Amino acid sequence: MSVESVPAGCTLDVTGTLARLGGDKELFLELAAFYHEDAPRLYADLRAAADAKEAKAVRMTAHSLKGLVAGCGGVRAANAAQSVETAGENGDLGNILLLVDSLGDELDLLRQALLDYHA
């Protein structure tokens, strides 16, 4: 997903994601299931890395989260994960906990949006 191609305020881009997946709703639902399974663990790993101020682990884990959320259409979460990844890449961890908290909020919004979509 190119997050630049949709509004920055978009929590879940179902239309764009389905277009990218050739309209395959089953595949979209599988990606959403991967999100529900993997995001909590990845976020916990990211939080631990941020608490420990481990820049490399922050960067790598944020990158994994970014791919996971982008795959299922999470625009704002992908942008938030990119901010965390960039901070880790630059070793700029002064406000990393705030960035991670913001990402956590976006992950919660995406989780709810995906659940609402399933309903």
Which residue segments constitute the domains of the chain, with CATH numbers given? 9-118 (1.20.120.160)
Distance, CA of 5 to CA of 38 (rounded, Å): 26
- From the list 98, 103, 60, 96, the residue with the least C-alpha distance to 81 is 103
pLDDT in tens, 42-66: 999 999 999 999 999 999 999 999 9
Token pair, residue 103, equals 């990402």
**Amino acid occupying residue 64:** S
- The predicted structure's pLDDT at residue 8: 58
- The predicted structure's pLDDT at residue 7: 54
Is the per-residue pLDDT at 1 higher than 50?
no
Distance, CA of 6 to CA of 75 (rounded, Å): 8
- From the list 65, 68, 69, 74, the residue with the least C-alpha distance to 11 is 74
The reported pTM is 0.90
